[in-house]
Amino acid sequence: MGFATNLQGQTAHEALLGRQDAEIKLLETMRRCLTTKVKSDREYASTISSLSNQGKKVERDADLVGSLITQGWRDIMESIDQTAKHIKQQADSMESAVVEHIGTLYAERRRARKLYQEEQIWLNNQFQQLTDDVARKKTEYQKSLEMYKVARSKFEEHYVKSGRGGRKLDDVREKYQKACRKLHLTHNEYVLLLNAVAECEHDLRTYYLPSLLRRQQAIHQEFIVAWKRILQDTVKYSDFTTEKFLEIHARMRAAVDSIKPLEEYKDFITKHRTRPASPLRLTFDENLVDDTSGKLLPYKLTVDNLTIDWLRSRLNELENCLKTTQQNRLAMQLINENNSDPSKMTVLDYSREREELRLRCQEKKLQRQAEVIRGALNELGCEELPSGCDLSMEGSFAEPPPIQKVPSRIDSLTNSQKGNGDLMEEEWFHGVLPREEVVRLLVVEGDFLVRETMRNDESQIVLSVCWDGHKHFIVQTTPEGHFRFEGPTFPSIPELIMHQWKSGLPVTSRSGAILKTPIFRERWELNNDDVILLEKIGRGNFGDVYKARLKPCETEVAVKTCKVTLPDEQKRKFLQEGRILKQYDHPNIVKLIGICVQKQPIMIVMELVPGGSLLTYLRKNAAAISQIEQLRMCRDAAAGMSYLESKFCIHRDLAARNCLVGFDSTVKISDFGMSREEEEYIVSDGMKQIPIKWTAPEALNFGKYTSLCDVWSYGVLMWEIFSKGGNPYSGMSNSQAREKIDAGFRLPAPDGTLEEVYRLMLHCWEYEPEKRPHFDQIYTIVERLCQVYSQVKIV
């Protein structure tokens, strides 16, 4: 049981200071009382000495010569005089051996308390300084983030207005690139600071604080030893050898002997025991990276063309600093080991130990930062350096681009491939398919394909291979216009790829990657040039929606486009809808025709549903929509959702706005951007884009999605249909609607709603998911209602 393990908390620290104050007060009392005792003993000795001198003056002693009584009296008086001298001697010894030592102990006790309090204050200041450093860096991060957002917004605005040319666009692009670089550097500094501060805080809490408390316990116990010695001397110089004094002395000795320095603070520690000091929770504020499109990740350094040179330079600086700090720390440690007696610590000793701790913290900070950078550089692992930001079509500028007209992507590709064969005709060439989609296609060791990307405003052809993970190799161009990796050169990229495939040689000696199986374009991958955009008919989360014509068959289609400035992560999410739709074939699910990824913009081509959005249709035709038509709309939606449920697809965004109206008012489920092909899906990326008023309580409260969550949304869709485009929970905010739903509130039935229909709505809105019907049951109920009310109408 000791100070270091039991007295780390703030309340224990305050109690220890209180204990020290009480002991100092006790020393004051002891010194005052013993000073009075010395004075009283001296006065008593003087009085009985005078008495004995007076008693020795016997009158008429000549007449008493030989008298035994007289001799006895004189002996008694002599004894009294000896007693006085002995008392005087005891008083002098008490003053020199006890009172003066108490004064010294009192001064040392006050000094020890002051040193302890100063060390505690210094330690608390260190913890506060660590917290303040992180807060300042976070503020700097937020400012950099705001500058980045403003610069990005201006760049996108000018890009749309002025296309790819113009001095104004170049100026805006340069400012955007600078803001992006500043954000990435600040992000890395924030990550490094958090790692460094965590190391320093750990040392302060687990090394310095316990060490300080161990020293304090040693000092306290040394004081008790000295204190006990003073009390022993007090007893010693209070012993006058009479029976009464012996009895008192025995009692005092027993009291003194009962003092055991090692157990002196046992009750005190038990009473004021606290848990060890909790570590400072210095965490990365993940809100800072929410608007960086996944480019910046919490706790992870960003290694890209904006930061790699800085990281390498920073690593060299850290390694040099670390070497110097280690040398200084070892020297200071040696000095402190030679002055390691806790009971004799001076201000200078504390200062040296504090300096050793500072060097130790600095060493740990530098080591940790160097490890983080070294690990990040080692994880790069592919020959294609990740991009830094989305300044260009797919990547970012490593340096400001030259002030000149930027060629289009397809022009750049064509210019770079003169004499290169028709790369676009090769089935293993996948155009501008995003890197994340490429990784999805390459699943077996040796699978490969070729794609195009943009780096520093230049088109680059990349060979992607599944090999020990995924490797990405940029096709190198020779001054003569030929193409190569590490081996021989070829006049065209198809010839280079065919040689690499047929030869069985590694693409690079470092990677060892061997080409085995080419991955051909899927039948869904259409040629961008075969899609002619006619007119804009809407806007989605990733770009505009157009009415278009498909060249080969002259069919009118609907086309969703993806903004060219979006990063690869967003393009991957955009293509997710196409991946899901291509598997489905149902009259109440919008049909996918194909995707276009050979060049920008990436597009999803779907059947054109002429009636447009169901929500818009309901509002425009509110007066003409009949009750049986509303039932058929609900039936169509239930049929489509029953089909999705059978395919284990969770839509997650079922609402009138995401349904389309075809011929004969047929409803088709659309907008699968949030869908997941799983029986159960747990959301881990926040609730920012979730439609609160359409979403089931378990999804909002726990992030857990199943098809029964879609059933809840279907109930709201029915309400929209029968309210002819009404706003659910009108007049309530999202948070208010959520609170009322949890409290049991449900939307009232729209005017004219059939009782059976509203009963089905309420069934869909059961709070417990397992109590809701499945879509096949819903379809059966709605189909029966359609048949019943169709016959009623006919009659």
- CA torsion 79-85-89-95 (nearest 10°) is 120
Backbone phi and psi for residue 558, each to the nearest 5 degrees, phi listed first: -105, 135
Identify which of 98, 108, 96 has the alpha carbon closest to the alpha carbon of residue 24: 108
Query: Does 653 participate in catalysis according to the annotation?
Result: yes
Tokens 């019907």 belong to: 773
If you ran DSSP here, which 8-state letter would residue 770 be given? Answer: G
**Secondary structure E strands in 119-180:** none
Written as six digits, the tokens of 624 are 């003409």
> Which residues are part of a known binding site?
537-545, 560
Written as six digits, the tokens of 495 are 């010839």
CA distance 587 to 599: 31
Which residue(s) pair with 538 in the sheet?
545
Which residue(s) pair with 525 in the sheet?
595
Written as six digits, the tokens of 627 are 């009750």
**Which whole-number Å values give the CA distances from 707 to 377, 581, 652, 680, in the listed order?**
43, 17, 8, 8
Which one of 41, 457, 568, 653 is the catalytic residue?
653
CA distance 592 to 526: 12
CA distance 794 to 365: 83
> Which residues are part of a known binding site for ATP?
537-545, 560
CA distance 769 to 65: 125
Instruction: Please state at what angle helix 209-236 crosses helix 10-56, rounded to 10 degrees.
Output: 10
CA distance 151 to 154: 5
State CA 545 to chain mean position distance. 37
- Tell me the residue type at 137: K
How many C-beta atoms surround the C-beta of residue 245 within 10 A?
13
CA distance 735 to 243: 88
Residues in the chain, total: 795
CA distance 767 to 743: 10
CA distance 734 to 717: 17
CA distance 399 to 605: 36
In order, the DSSP letters of 658-679 are: GEEE-GGG-EEE---TT-B-SS
Residue 411 burial class via C-beta count within 10 angstroms: exposed 0-12, middle 13-18, buried 19 and up: exposed
CA distance 466 to 387: 20
State CA 419 to chain mean position distance. 51
Catalytic (active-site) positions: 653
